[in-house]
Amino acid sequence: MNELRGEVSRFAAGFDPALISAADAERIVVDAAAAENMLATVKALAAARVAETELWRRRGDASAAHHLARTSGTSVAKARQALEAAGRLSTLPAVAAAARRGELSPAQLAPITDAASKAPAAERRLLAAAGSTSLGELLDACARTKAAADPDHEARHRAIHAGRFLRRRRCQDGAGELHYRSTLEEVAEIYAVVRAHADRCFRAARADGRREPSEAHLADGLLAATRAAVMRTTAATTAAPEPPPPSEDFADTGTENDPVAGDRAMPPSSAPPVPAKVVVRIDWDTLLRGWPIDGEVCEIAGLGPVPVSAVRAMIGSGNAFLAAVVTRGVDVVNAPTSVAARPPTSAARCSGSARRARCSAATRPSTSRSTTGRTGRRRR
């Protein structure tokens, strides 16, 4: 390994991209990516061997993941992910061989080993997907494979809900952060409301000639949704309760110095309720049976698989405008829900929404509100 490092070091020191053609540069990118993947696999396997000993503890690290993170200059989360993937390779020979050939990046290796360890029969199918689809599509395929292989979807869903949290922290640069974790359907409902408000913030920014990233508009949308909820609550009561005093560790400084408190804040007269449109894709057989099998879909578009019970709960709650794309069919069935789809081509519109939900940009929400409860079914 020292000799290999020396050879690569000499090559890197003398490499000048200005002296090579575009075709040669492309070949170097391909070869370097494969070599990088091979070395990442070797590094993960070696780190897993270190994790079996007490060496990392003698180096003063809190865990083997901390040791790998410090040694390789990465995050503890990514180091832990690499160690877990390396630990699964011994039971996944096809995946291990592909990783050693440099055909899988660390970002691909982790989800494939995670899913294939729970569904070994899907090992080669997931490897084929890694070579022919994007990383996002591969992650979706791995998530579906895990969901179909899980013997108790409901128990996993209850465990995730039991561990839900919202945390806040002060950053070293003086900023503040919120970290929310819950089930996918609850995250999707909150995000749908935030995204709808973010669209208003985007239009206001565009009218003012401001160009900001979509994440900034989503942050503004979260604040706008919170303020809109407070405004509606205040208007519905004769006397608003006095808010509790701010905590010392994260005190509210008011809105006089808030850059979004002026033109981006929504007055009560211009803050009507915004429907939370959540796009769900589910196979008809899955909906009837109550759980998916391998190859079937029951997921929130752009997020991942959810139990059928969660979809049924969303339909029954009425808290969100549910746009459902029911696959394996072309007819239209009645469902007890309000579907935020634009007639007369509701199935096609919902299908397009499902594809667009993969994007994180703040896009314009549907303005029509259908209360007919029709769910489009399309053929895959």
Asked if residue 194 is part of any domain, the answer here is: yes
Contact 360, 375 (CB under 8 A): no
> What residues contact 13, with CB distance under 8 A and at least 6 apart?
none
pTM tops 0.75: no
Q: What percent of the chain has a predicted confidence (pLDDT) above 70?
A: 72
The runs of H, that is alpha helices, within the chain are 2-14, 22-51, 55-58, 64-72, 76-88, 93-100, 106-118, 123-132, 135-149, 153-162, 184-207, 214-236, 284-289, 308-317, 346-356
Residues 25 and 142 in one domain: yes
379 has a pLDDT exceeding 70: no
* Lowest-confidence pick of 35-44, 56-65, 108-117, 248-257: 248-257
Half-sphere exposure (Cβ direction) of 155: Cα atoms closer than 13 Å: 3
- Could you read off the pLDDT of 232-273 as tens digits, one per residue? 666 666 555 555 554 444 444 343 333 333 333 444 334 445
Asked if residue 52 is part of any domain, the answer here is: yes
Residues 117 and 185 in one domain: no
Position 107 scores a pLDDT of 95
Position 245 scores a pLDDT of 54
Asked if residue 200 is part of any domain, the answer here is: yes
Residues 62 and 145 in one domain: yes
111 has a pLDDT exceeding 60: yes
Residues 281 and 337 in one domain: yes
Position 13 scores a pLDDT of 95
Residues 199 and 95 in one domain: no
Asked if residue 160 is part of any domain, the answer here is: no
What's the whole-number average pLDDT of the chain? 78
Asked if residue 13 is part of any domain, the answer here is: no
Better-predicted residue by pLDDT, 233 or 93: 93
Asked if residue 295 is part of any domain, the answer here is: yes
364 has a pLDDT exceeding 70: no
Asked if residue 175 is part of any domain, the answer here is: no
Contact 142, 111 (CB under 8 A): yes
Residues 34 and 143 in one domain: yes
Residues 313 and 367 in one domain: yes
Domain count across the chain:
3
* Overall size of the chain counted in residues: 380
- Could you read off the pLDDT of 124-171 as tens digits, one per residue? 999 999 999 999 999 989 988 988 887 787 888 899 899 999 998 888
State which residues form the domain around 144.
Answer: 21-149
Residues 296 and 234 in one domain: no
Residues 297 and 352 in one domain: yes
Tokens of 151: 């013997």
167, exposed or middle or buried, with CB in 10 Å at 0-12, 13-18, 19+?
exposed
Asked if residue 339 is part of any domain, the answer here is: yes
Tokens of 194: 């935030």
Residues 294 and 313 in one domain: yes
Q: Which residue has the tokens 């050693």?
A: 100
Residues 25 and 144 in one domain: yes
Residues 92 and 127 in one domain: yes
285 has a pLDDT exceeding 90: no
